[in-house]
Amino acid sequence: MQRPSWVALGTVLVAAVLWTAMAFLIVPGARHHDFLNLYTGARLARTGQVASLYDPTTQLATERTLVPRTATLIPFVRPHFYATILSPLAALEFNRAFVVWVAFQTVLLLACWTWGWRRFGPDALVFGALFAPAALGIAHGQDCVVFLAVVIGFYTLAERHRDSFSGAALAFGLVKFHLFMLWPLTLAVSRRWRALAGFSVVSLALGAASFAIGGRTGVSQYIALLQMKNIERLSPSPEKMVNIYSLLANAGVESGGLSFLFGTAVVLATVAAVWRAPLWRLVAGTSCGALLVAPHVYGYDAALLLLGVWLAIFESRDRWTRLAAATVAIPIPYLIGLAGPPWSAAPALALVIFLVTLAVENVRVYWTSRFSRCNASAASL
């Protein structure tokens, strides 16, 4: 494993200081917001209240026992099986559990950085340290690094040609299913049938586990909670999201037709980016496209894109793709987004450009290869 230079180590240290300073500003609110809903789900599962796990009244009452000043519901919207996985966290007192949670996410991120260092070299540490979504997600009390680890697990296994297991690992991303909803399509488009089979089997198993835990009533309550429009915290500040729809929100446009057209364009661009593509472009294109087309996607959700950024920077031969990936990796788009509309569209716009470069590169490489084969065949006649 190559040792990083002093410049690289200095960059990592400066980035760590920056994110730590920002974390001190974010953490007090995160403890009583993002983490609160996760701990609430864990407590309801641990105390055997799975029958009312997705009842808004029960969730709000639980949150108020933990943080009395909670005015409106901060909903727990993860599946039953994830609440069960989190339930040991509720054995700890709320504030202590938050410390343990942040520490776990931090260690997991460091493990991902170490993997990137071993796989791509010390420059991966620099881009990992500069990548804002993962660091800020931890400060918000989110579990975004878990999904980065899931994507890395998929890539590692697929690279070793353990396709069924790679798909099985990827299925655990369904904890936040809207971030992974393009994967079945892109696995099919790229003809990775074993990976798709592994993904499907584990997905069905996780769905069956949730049904066994919550029953028909629990599943119905879950679907109803996701569809509720009067929960303020379920989808606040659409202009701050990093999906394609935030571009419309920042422009002050509300149009279902345009949203559909934008979403369709993202899906088509994703398919173009992964059609008969190598594994690295499949991961980068799908991760980026899924973020852009999914609803309710904030900056920290882009943490799972770090692997795609690494792959594009170190595997792509196209300078524009590498430049777009590096732009996504550095803090500038996310810091610009803090300025409010219309500047808050900057992160989503950076992701759009990244996806377009991946699609253009893949199409160009595909047709160049086709023409080369045709010319070679003609020359041999």
Residues above pLDDT 70, as percent of the chain:
95
Write the DSSP symbol of residue 242.
Answer: S
Residue 1 confidence (pLDDT) above 80: no
Contact 71, 61 (CB under 8 A): no
Contact 327, 350 (CB under 8 A): yes
Contact 175, 84 (CB under 8 A): no
Tell the residue number behind the tokens 């599962």, with chain if given: 45
What is the total residue count of the chain? 381
Every domain of the chain and the residues it spans? 6-380
Instruction: Between 34 and 200, name the one with better pLDDT.
Output: 200
How many alpha carbons fall within 13 Å on the CB side of residue 30? Answer: 20
**Structure token pair of residue 278:** 């190598």
**Structure token pair of residue 356:** 């377009």
Of 132, 140, 129, nearest to 105 by C-alpha is: 140
Instruction: Between 205 and 295, name the one with better pLDDT.
Output: 205
Range list of H helices, 228-305: 245-250, 256-274, 279-293
pLDDT digits 0-9 by tens, 106-151: 999 999 999 999 999 999 999 999 999 999 999 999 999 999 999 9
**How buried is 93 (Cβ within 10 angstroms: 0-12 exposed, 13-18 middle, 19+ buried)?**
exposed
Q: What is the pLDDT of residue 158?
A: 98
Q: Is 3 left (phi over 0), alpha (psi -120 to 50) or beta?
A: beta
Split at pLDDT 50, 70, 90, the class of 31 is confident
Tell the residue number behind the tokens 């892109």, with chain if given: 186
Split at pLDDT 50, 70, 90, the class of 374 is low
pLDDT digits 0-9 by tens, 158-194: 999 999 999 999 999 999 999 999 999 999 999 999 9
Split at pLDDT 50, 70, 90, the class of 77 is very high
Distance between CA atoms of 93 and 115, rounded to whole angstroms?
33
Distance between CA atoms of 17 and 11, rounded to whole angstroms?
10
Split at pLDDT 50, 70, 90, the class of 41 is very high
pLDDT digits 0-9 by tens, 201-244: 999 999 999 999 999 888 898 888 888 776 655 556 788 899 99
**How buried is 85 (Cβ within 10 angstroms: 0-12 exposed, 13-18 middle, 19+ buried)?**
middle
Write the DSSP symbol of residue 251.
Answer: T
| H or E segment to which residue 181 belongs | none
Q: What is the pLDDT of residue 108?
A: 97
Distance between CA atoms of 188 and 44, rounded to whole angstroms?
38
Q: Is 237 left (phi over 0), alpha (psi -120 to 50) or beta?
A: left
Of 266, 258, 253, nearest to 294 by C-alpha is: 266
What residues have CB less than 8 Å from 221, skipping those under 6 apart? 52, 53, 54, 55, 214
Distance between CA atoms of 5 and 264, rounded to whole angstroms?
44
Split at pLDDT 50, 70, 90, the class of 27 is confident
Q: What is the pLDDT of residue 240?
A: 86
pLDDT digits 0-9 by tens, 78-117: 999 999 999 999 999 999 999 999 999 999 999 999 999 9
Q: What is the pLDDT of residue 33?
A: 86
